[in-house]
Amino acid sequence: MVTRRPGSTPQTEARAEPDLILRADATESTRLLGPGPDEHANETTLNSTSQSWNGLADFEGLPWWRQPSVFWLLAPYSLFTLAFGSVLVPKLNLILDLVCQRYFANQKLINPDQSFNPIILGAENPQCRENAEVQKLVGTFILIMTLCTGLLSAFIAPKMGHLSDRYGRRRLLALASCGGLMGELITILAAKYPQTVDYRWLILGSVFDGLTGSFTAGNIISQSYTSDCTPPSKRAVAIGYIHACLFMGLALGQFLGGEIVKLTGSLVSVFYIVLVAHSIFIFTVAFVVPESLSKKRQLAAQEKHRKEKEERRERTGSWISMVRQNNPFAALAVLYPRGRGTSTRLRINLIALATCDMIIMGTAMAAGQIIILYSGYIFSWDTREQSRFIAGVSFIRVIILMVIFPIINYFFRIRPAIMRSRKTGVTPPDKNGGADHLDVWIIRLALASDIIGYVGYAVARSPGLFISSAVTTAFGGLGSATCQSVVTKHVSQDRVGQVLGAIGMLQALVRVMGPLAFNGLWVLTVKTYPQAIFVALVCLFSFALLCSFLVTPHVHWEEHIEEEEEPFNGRVPDPFGINAANLPLDEDEIRY
C-alpha cells in the first residue's frame, strides 16, 4: 500500500523544494517529515532574491568593489551625458563663429577695400547671425558633421554591442567615449589656433566620434551592463535609472555649458572641462567599475559565436557568407531571428518593440529642438524661459523614472510575486521570459500619455496649457526604459548586447533622419500651420501604440533548455518525482 506523506508539498514544473530535510541537530521532538508548506513559504520568501535569479552567481564571494551593480554606473554615466549635453550649444556657436570668421576673411581677400567688423569667438557677432550666406554654410557644415557621426555610429554601435557580449562591457564602454575625447581635442585646437587649424578639421573629430560608436554605443553598452547585473523583474526600473541620468545630464549639461561660458568669458573653457569629464569617465569605467560579464560567460559566448560562424560557413558558400557578414544592415537580423527556439510571435514582438523604441527615442532627439523654436515663435519666450522649461520638464521626467517607476514596479510586480511565493511555497526562477502584462501596459500607457501631450501642444494657445502638456509627455519616459528592458528579456543573456546593438543602430539612423524630417516640416509649415509638427508626432505615436498591441506576453527565444545545477544543501530528493502532486491525499483515496 502506498500513502502520501502528510508534510509533502506538490511538485511543479519549476521543481519545488524537496520535502525531506536531513538535520544533524535532530532531537526527540524533531519532526521526521520535514517542514510543512508554511515553513517552506517563509524560507522561500526570505531567500527569494538569492535563489530565484543566478545572474551574479559567478561573483559570489568576491569583495563588494568587484561585484557589478547598476549603481556603479550611475555616477560615471551621468558625467558622460553631462559632458555630451554641455557642449551642444557652445559647439554650435563656435562653429558659427569659425565659419563666419573664415567667410569674412575670404571676402576681405576678394574685396580688399571693404571693411568688416572683427569676429570674436563667443561674442554676439550680429554680422554672423544676420548673414544668410553664413547661416547656409553653417547649416551645411553641421549636416555633414551629423551625417559622419550618425552614419558611422549606426554601423559601429551594433558591432560594439555584439563584441561586448563576448569580451565584456566596461572597456568597450570606455572606448565609446574615446572618440568624443579626440573630437574635443580637435575642437580646442581649432578654437585656439583658427589661423592654423581650419574649422573643417572638426569633421575629423566627428569621424573619430562615429568610429567609436559615439553616444549611441555608450547608451546601449550601459544598458547591456545594467541587464547583466539586474534580475528581469527589476530590469525596467534599473534601465529607467540610466534614462533618468540621460535626461538629467542633457538638461543640466546645456544649462551648465551656458553658465560656464558666462562665468569664464571664454567659449573654449567649456571644452576644457568636457575634456576632463571624458577623461574621468574613461578612467573610471576602464579601471574602477567592476566588469558585469565573468570570464566564464565571456568564454562561453565566444565559443557560441565561433560555432555559429562555422554553421553559417557550412550552410552557404564562402563568397555568399562574406557578403552577408559585410552587409551593413546585418546587425538588424537579430530582430528577425530564425532557427531553433524562434517563432513568428517572437519576431513580431521584437519588431514591434524596436519600432516603438525607434519612434520614442527618435522623436525625443529630433522634436526637442522644434519645441524650443515653437515656444519662442508662439509665446515669445527668450532663452532663459526656454532653458527653465526644458530643465523643468527634464526634472519631472527624472522624478518619474527614479521615484514613481520603482513604486509601480514594487506594488504591481515585486509584491504580488512575494505574496504568491508565500502562498505556494515555491519561488519561480526570475529569468528572461519575455514581456509580462505589466510591461505591456506600461508601454501602452506611456505612449498614450505622449499622444495626449502632443495633442495638448497642438491646441495650446496659452503657456499654462503648453507646460501642462509637457508634463504629460514626461510620463512617456517610462515607455523607452520599458521597451529596452523588455527587448533584453526576449533573448538569452549572451545576446543582450547584440539585440541592444540592433536597437542602437535604429536609434542612430533616426538621430540622422529625424532632425532632417522634422526641421523640413517646420520650415514648410511655420508660416501657415506651425502646429503641423505636433500633428505628425501624434500620428507617429498612434502608430507606435498600435504596434504595442502586437506584443504578446511571455514569448522568449528558447535557444536551449537551461539546466540549473543546484548545490547539495542537505535535502533528499522527493522519491515520487514530479508526479507527487497527483498522488492521493490519504489511504481512503488509494486505488489498487
Three-state DSSP class for residue 242: helix
Residue 254, pLDDT above cutoff 80: no
Kind and range of the H or E run holding 21: strand 20-21
pLDDT band at 57 (very low <50, low <70, confident <90, very high): confident
Three-state DSSP class for residue 571: strand
In contact, 173 and 80? CB cutoff 8 Å: no
Given the candidates 3.40.50.300, 1.20.1250.20, 3.30.70.100, 1.10.30.50, the CATH classification of the domain at 340-558 is 1.20.1250.20
> Could you report the per-residue pLDDT of 463-506, keeping only the tens digit for each?
999 999 999 999 998 998 999 999 999 998 888 899 999 998 99
Kind and range of the H or E run holding 322: helix 318-326
State what percent of residues in the chain have pLDDT above 70.
83
Question: Taking every pair of C-alpha atoms in the chain, what is the biggest distance, in angstroms?
Answer: 117
Closest by CA to 371, choosing from 542, 258, 518, is: 518
pLDDT at 588: 39
pLDDT at 126: 79
Three-state DSSP class for residue 84: helix
Q: What Å distances lie between residue 197 and 140, 182, 192, 345, CA to CA?
A: 19, 15, 9, 55
> Could you report the per-residue pLDDT of 444-454, keeping only the tens digit for each?
999 999 999 99
DSSP annotation string for 112-153: TT---PPP-TTS--HHHHT-HHHHHHHHHHHHHHHHHHHHHH
State what percent of residues in the chain have pLDDT above 90.
35
Mean pLDDT of the chain: 81
Q: Which residue carries 536551449 as its cell?
A: 560
Rg (CA), the chain: 28
In contact, 187 and 199? CB cutoff 8 Å: no
> Could you report the per-residue pLDDT of 340-395, keeping only the tens digit for each?
888 999 999 999 999 999 999 888 777 877 888 888 888 988 767 877 888 888 88
pLDDT band at 553 (very low <50, low <70, confident <90, very high): very high
How many C-beta neighbours within 10 Å does residue 501 have?
29
Q: Hey, what amino acid is at 357?
A: D
Query: How far apart are alpha carbons 430 and 235 in whole angstroms?
Result: 11
Q: Of 144-148, 204-208, 278-282, 557-561, which range is least confident?
A: 557-561
The CATH classification number of 59-295 equals: 1.20.1250.20
For the chain, the first-to-last Cα distance in angstroms comes to: 8
Question: Domain residues of the chain, as ranges?
Answer: 59-295, 340-558
**Topology match between the domains 59-295 and 340-558:** yes
Query: How far apart are alpha carbons 217 and 214 in whole angstroms?
Result: 6
Q: Hey, what amino acid is at 79?
A: L
